Amino acid sequence: MQDKNKVAQIKQTTIQKIDNYTKLKTFKELSKDKQEAILYLKEINPAPMPEGVSKENLENLFRHFENKQDENARRYYSKLFDDTKQHADFILDTKGKEGQARKEYIKAYQHKSTHDLYYMIVTENNDKVNVTAHPITEIREMIRHKSERASVIKDSNQAPA
């Protein structure tokens, strides 16, 4: 029962932060598709983290991408990245620094034991794949990310199978 309360509390915190943002002028100035993408963050029901990904693993993941660890460490997390790409909640059509078209696959996950929420972003840019993760405490970063990107091209109902 306590787990359900924590999940509900985390979800309510997310909704409240998004609702607060929607009252700002910056939100109202966004295009309709960006507004809808941000509002959809409230509706996402996060998937459970794949088996074997502990909170310590996630912390290592964040450090891993800061420090660019070896290829073996990257393979360990590939199941999380593959799931993000194959079952994305959002797919954003964006442009890279040099104007090249790319896609960003975004999926929400919930850790099984801590119930913390994370947003994973897998960016496909030609033959290169980049991964970013935002803990739920950084929902503002996720909102900023969506508001600065190009249009939302797919939602969870249209994501690739």
Rounded distance between C-alpha atoms, residue 30 and residue 83, angstroms = 29
Three-state DSSP class for residue 123:
strand
pLDDT classification of 81: cutoffs 50, 70, 90: confident
DSSP 153: E
Phi-psi group of 68: left, alpha or beta (phi > 0 → left; psi -120 to 50 → alpha; rest → beta):
left
Instruction: State the residue range of the domain holding 62.
Output: 2-155
Q: Output the six-digit token pair for 146.
A: 């969506």
What pLDDT does residue 19 have?
93
What pLDDT does residue 133 have?
58
pLDDT classification of 159: cutoffs 50, 70, 90: very low
What pLDDT does residue 127 have?
61
**74 CB-contact burial (10 Å; exposed 0-12 / middle 13-18 / buried 19+):** middle
Residue 160 resides in a domain: no
- End-to-end alpha-carbon separation of the chain, Å? 33
User: Would the pLDDT of 125 be above 90?
Assistant: no
Residue 59 resides in a domain: yes
Residue 161 resides in a domain: no
| Count: domains in the chain | 1
Q: Are 84 and 146 in contact (CB under 8 A)?
A: no
Residue 112 resides in a domain: yes
In our burial notation (b when 16+ CB lie closer than 10 A, e otherwise), range 83-121 reads: bbbeebbbbbebeeeeeeebbbbbbbbbbeeebbbbbbb
Q: Which residues pair with 108 in a beta bridge?
A: 119
Q: CA 69, 72, 74 angle in degrees (round to 5)?
A: 60
